[in-house]
A and B are shown apart, each in its own frame.
Chain A
Amino acid sequence: MAGNHAQDATIGVLALQGDFREHAAALKALGAHTVFVRRPHELEQVDALVIPGGESTAMWKLATTAEMFEPVRKRVADGMPAFGTCAGMIMMADRIVDAAAGQQTFGGLPITVRRNAFGRQTESFEEPIAFEGIDGELTGVFIRAPWVEEVDPGVEVLARVAGGPATGRIVAVRQGNLLATSFHPELTSDRRVHEFFVSMVRDAA
């Protein structure tokens, strides 16, 4: 991890709902300056944003009532580095399938994401995942997870499911400063995906 500190960049973790503490712990373990973001003035103070796992409908509603929806959407559209896992991936997708009535996203990634694509909780699973740009395998933890159904040209596919009924489904993508995974690296002690994002933030600075 030596030399991978994000210097002075401040990384925010959207803390409306979900496993935001686990993301913050992963980022802090990498030496990144990390703060929770619940309000527009807190968003103004960050250079990058992590959108955690959780329930995407609840996150959308809470972002709207906290007057965070437009500010986050605008920052992401203006090029702020962002990393979303699971519900966070849904929030970063331009298009969603099986959305709740009227459900909106921050968008930014020109992809189509299917909610709860692998099934209900009894279908939740873990599986080794190969991730473009990271050596060796990661443990992918998929919890009522979405997958990426379509990507527009220019979106890099970083990981696909390697075994089981969903083999070949896209579960990690990147375009420019935006990174999204269907699975939850924050629920493992392996920090390499967060490290990958921290270096994206450093490169964008």
Chain B
Amino acid sequence: MSANENTAQAPALGTARVKRGMAEMLKGGVIMDVVTPEQARIAEDAGAVAVMALERVPADIRRDGGVARMSDPDMIDGIIEAVSIPVMAKARIGHFVEAQVLQALGVDYVDESEVLTPADETHHIDKWAFTVPFVCGATNLGEALRRIAEGAAMIRSKGEAGTGNVVEATRHMRQLRGDIKKLATLDESELFLAAKHHQAPYELVKEVAATGKLPVVLFTAGGIATPADAAMMMQLGAEGVFVGSGIFKSGTGLSEGERLKAVEKRAKAIVEATTHFDDADLIAKVSRDLGEAMVGINLDTLPADQRYANRGW
């Protein structure tokens, strides 16, 4: 970390402020999973604030099984070439060399993601060692603070990716919000035990208790498929939304041309609903005539070993 502000005359790269600040610029926006340059352009046209470059969206990773890894560098290059908005890409949990490669490719944010198959079942990546900022998933406050202690500059609630089912995203947003609210009610002498309970560094627990918020931007992810889903997450306190399979897996049953139109319309509708999340008239308007949302998975039918949210520690 070179957070040596006010002294060096040379530009200081990769400071905590420029990493966290990058996420501040994405607030109120939608980050869309894309697998081709063409999808990236559709996302940019729809008003996405960034794209997540992937080889397969989570719904396809579920379908195909096997080991899911970092994307092909050529594919990431193609997407970087195609758009002017920031490009993010996923590395496996703990796979610091995949992260080094993504940094070398010039991606703007690395997602250390439970959607890919974990590469280390004990350690996450030491994110302070990088110039590129990281976003990590969390299901509760302790997990979020452990990731921030490791250098994450942005947190997203995990939800359950690739299901088109918002129930887990709701659970994780409520959990995070509830944990933060509870901290704010404790006196200082009680924060030591709270830190132990959350298995998180005391200094970060103390900071959250004092400010009533995470020290980094909090987005939501995992199962968002409709404009109303996105707006609900914003009303639950998310500062922005990741949409994975929900956009490009929608409109099944239509002809290819019709499907593309429906996808474009849904992408735009989710962007508008995220900005105007408290305007029900507008959400009603943009929810019309979007075609079929992705079919989705009922979580009761999903075996425990296929729950991505359980990955990460």
Residues of A within 8 A of B (CB): 15-22, 38, 53-55, 57-58, 61-62, 65-66, 86-87, 98-100, 115-116, 120-128, 137, 139, 141-144, 162-164, 166, 184, 187-188
Nearest residue in B to A162 (C-beta to C-beta)? B9
Residues on A with beta carbons closer than 8 Å to the beta carbon of B84: 57, 98-100, 115-116
Within 8 A of A (CB), among B12-58: 12-15, 17-18, 21-22, 24-29, 44-50
Is B298 located at the chain interface by the 8 A CB criterion?
Answer: no
Residue of A nearest to B88 (CB): A121
A137 to B50, CA, bound (A): 33
Please, which residues of chain B bring their CB within 8 A of the CB of A126?
5, 11-12, 15, 17-18
A143 with B21: CB separation less than 8 A: yes
Q: A127-B11, A139-B6 are in contact. List 9 more A-B contacts (CB 8 A).
A: A57-B47, A66-B275, A100-B85, A121-B86, A122-B14, A122-B106, A125-B12, A143-B25, A188-B17
Q: What is the CA–CA distance of A83 and B155 in the complex, to the nearest angstrom?
A: 30
A38 pairs with B25, CB closer than 8 A: no
Contact in complex: A141, B18 (CB < 8 Å) = yes
> By DSSP majority rule, is chain A's interface helix, strand, loop, or mixed?
loop
Chain A residues whose CB sits within 8 angstroms of the CB of B109 once the complex forms: 121
Chain B residues near A143 (CB, 8 Å)?
18, 21-22, 25
Give the shortest distance, in Å, between B188 (CB) and chain A (any CB): 23
Q: Please indicate which of the listed interface residues A61, A98, A188 has the most CB atoms of chain B within 10 Å of its own CB.
A: A61
Q: How large is the interface on B (under 10, 10 to 19, 20 to 34, 35 or more residues)?
A: 35 or more
What would be 19 A-B contacts, judged by CB atoms less than 8 Å apart? A17-B27, A17-B28, A18-B24, A18-B28, A19-B24, A54-B28, A55-B86, A62-B271, A65-B47, A100-B85, A121-B86, A122-B14, A124-B22, A126-B5, A127-B11, A141-B18, A162-B9, A163-B10, A187-B24
Best-surrounded residue of A57, A124, A142, A166 (most CB of chain B within 10 A) = A124
**Contacting residue for A22 out of B10, B24, B83, CB 8 A:** B24
Question: Do residues B49 and A54 form an inter-chain contact, with CB atoms below 8 A?
Answer: yes
Return chain A residues, CB-CB under 8 Å to B229.
none
Report B's interface with A, CB cutoff 8 A. 5-6, 9-15, 17-18, 21-22, 24-29, 44-50, 83-86, 103, 106-109, 131-133, 268, 271-272, 275-276
Please, which residues of chain B bring their CB within 8 A of the CB of A99? 84
Report yes or no: A163 in contact with B13, Cβ–Cβ below 8 A.
no
* Interface-central residue, B9, B29, B84, B107, by most chain A CB under 10 Å: B84
Could you say which residues of chain B place their CB within 8 Å of the CB of A187? 17, 21, 24
Q: Is the CB of B27 within 8 A of A18?
A: yes
Instruction: Give 6 closest A-B pairs by Cβ, nearest first.
Output: A61-B47, A125-B11, A121-B108, A164-B11, A17-B28, A124-B18
- In whole Å, how far is A120's beta carbon from the nearest beta carbon of chain B? 5
- By a CB distance below 8 angstroms, the chain B residues around A127 are 9-12
Residue ID in chain B nearest A166 by CB atoms: B11
- Which listed residue, A19, A58, A122, touches B47 by the CB 8 Å rule? A58
A87 engages B25 (CB within 8 Å):
yes
In Å, the complex CA distance between A30 and B275 comes to 27
Taking A55-B49, A57-B84 as contacts, is the C-beta distance between A122 and B27 under 8 angstroms? no
